[in-house]
Chain A
Amino acid sequence: MVSRRLLLFSLASVCFSPAVAPVARANQSTDANGAAQFVQWLGDQAIATLRTPNMSLEQREAVFRQLLAQGFDIPFIGRFVLGRYWQQATPEQRDEYTRLFGEFVLKTYSKRLGGYAGEAFRVVGAKPAGERDALVHTRIERPSGPPLECDWRIRAAGNQFKIIDVMVENVSMALTQRQEFASVVGSSGMDGLLVALRARTEAAAATAGR
């Protein structure tokens, strides 16, 4: 559960953030410059979270997950990843899947991007992608290890920008997960997928020792 301090912190970070998320113009196609600003805004917020002292790793990543939850269109990605099995799932399975998939996505990205001290996040470029989307190219520089190159596929929905896919070194996360999930549902059914997702989202944390 979310601790009191964490809640206070999240409120503070919202109040003190330099600006609210950049707003999308209602348009058929997604404006690449606006999308780039949106991604930079998310990145700045994320880095500010990571630099907050006196928070445990779990607390920091919980704040980070809330931030990502605002940025990702999780129901959209979840339906895409499940593919044709979405139609075959019962309403109860769909609810459970959407919830678990959200946790799974947020956990995956927060541990990939969230834990590191001394990171720098830079938008390197942006261009239109397909008819409706924009692709924002970013570089995350780390104190140890090579920089991480990511492309964020952004779609404007209403007046909001939303992330609908992330490509890490040109590999689409949504497509990768779609193939993986299809093989699990194919052999173990929807229940097997839900059990697997739960096992992944609830994997235990490191131990403090005694």
Chain B
Amino acid sequence: MGTSIIRHNRWRRARQGLLALALLAVGANPAWADFRAGWTAYQNGDFATALREWRPLAEAGDAKAQYNLGIMYDEGRGVGESAKDAVAWWEKAAAQGMAEAAQSLGLHYLGKTADPADYVKARQWLERAAKAGLPRAAYSLGKMHQYGLGGPKDPEQAFLLIRTAAEKGTDQAQYNLGKLFRDGVGTPADPAAAARWFLAAAEQGNPRAQSHIGVRLVKGEGVGRDEVQGLMWLILAERQGDSLAKQNRMALAARLSPAQVAEAERRAAAFKPRQAP
């Protein structure tokens, strides 16, 4: 009897505690409610309302609202398109440690012009975002090292960065890692590893990677020879507009039996790209 009262009281206290926590998270946090209201409006294409909700939050120092305001200026949604304002808001969010904002700044400078000064800035921001673990930033930074944009060419560093992004599932990075293994750039050439990474990107629907793994399967390069499976990948790549795959597909299909071609077409029709993690 005594123990049950104690249990009961404990339960009640725990329940009160939970309730208080829930209130703290939702009811007692009007800023979060405003943020959500802004998000709903944004999704509905009502950018004027989204701005009304997010601007005061951003001005009060909310990093996510600052980041979203930056996106709205960058894309000219509900406001005049203004890269300058976008950068200003992203800088505020990045100063609070928001890695996505650092990534957006990096991509902004990378995509803006060919001005060397911008490449240097792009590197600085992408480095911060890549260190925080964003694969898209690691991949872009890797390409900058590979091509020598904003600094000297550094194939080893390019390889490490692109591998990081590939391992996190970025299909473009997987495709590029395949090329680095194929050509022996920043790492010893490794045809089997090249085929493995082309396949990983191909399975996610990357057309260039589908074209490459298709040819490798036909030749048996770094992977067991399988012409029907090779044809399937070439068909898939061609459908996405890969002109080299089209030539290779036509040459291969002319060589295979009608049954083999039909099987490859059946597999291509059943193909579903794997979702990125």
A residues touching B (Cβ–Cβ < 8 Å)? 1, 50, 56-57, 60, 91-92, 94-96, 98-99, 111-112, 115-117, 143-144, 180, 183-184, 186-189, 191-192, 195-200, 202-210
Contacts and interface: CB of A to CB of B under 8 A. Distances in A.
Given A184-B113, A204-B104, A208-B39, 6 more contacts: A95-B208, A95-B241, A111-B77, A116-B45, A195-B147, A198-B111
Contacts of A207: 64, 67-68, 100
Interface in B102-135: 103-104, 107-108, 110-114, 116
A36 B242 CA distance: 33
Interface string B61-75: 000100110011011
Given A91-B243, A115-B45, A202 B107 contact: yes
A94 B242 CA distance: 10
Contacts of A199: 107-108, 110-111, 140
B114 A99 contact: no
A91 B244 contact: yes
B42 A202 contact: no
Give the most central of B42, B45, B76, B140: most A CB within 10 Å.
B45
Contact of B43 (A57, A96, A200): A57
Contact of B68 (A91, A187, A206): A206
Interface of B: 32, 35-36, 39, 42-48, 64, 67-68, 71-72, 74-78, 100, 103-104, 107-108, 110-114, 116, 136, 140, 143-144, 147, 149, 172, 205, 207-208, 240-244, 273, 275-276
A16 to B, nearest CB: 21
Contacts of B78: 144
A50 B77 CA distance: 15
A203 B104 contact: yes
A177 to B, nearest CB: 13
Q: Decide if the interface of chain B is mainly helix, strand, loop or mixed.
A: helix
B150 to A, nearest CB: 10
B77 A144 contact: no
A197 to B, nearest CB: 7
B114 A195 contact: no
Contact of B111 (A91, A111, A116, A197): A197
Given A144-B48, A195-B143, A206 B36 contact: no
Given A1-B273, A92-B244, A116-B45, A195 B110 contact: yes
13 contacts: A50-B45, A56-B43, A94-B243, A99-B207, A111-B77, A115-B45, A191-B147, A195-B147, A196-B110, A200-B111, A202-B107, A207-B68, A209-B35
A192 B148 CA distance: 10
Contacts of A98: 241
B207 A183 contact: no
Contacts of B244: 91-92, 95
Nearest to A108: B75
Nearest to B35: A209
A184 B244 CA distance: 26
Given A199-B140, A203-B74, A203-B107, A117 B44 contact: yes
Given A95-B208, A95-B241, A186-B114, A111 B76 contact: yes
Contact of B45 (A60, A203, A210): A60
Contact of A99 (B36, B108, B147, B241): B241
B124 to A, nearest CB: 15
A112 B75 CA distance: 8
A25 B19 CA distance: 70
Contacts of A144: 47-48, 78
Contact of B275 (A1, A184, A208): A1
Contacts of B68: 206-207
B114 A187 contact: yes
B248 to A, nearest CB: 12
A96 B208 contact: yes
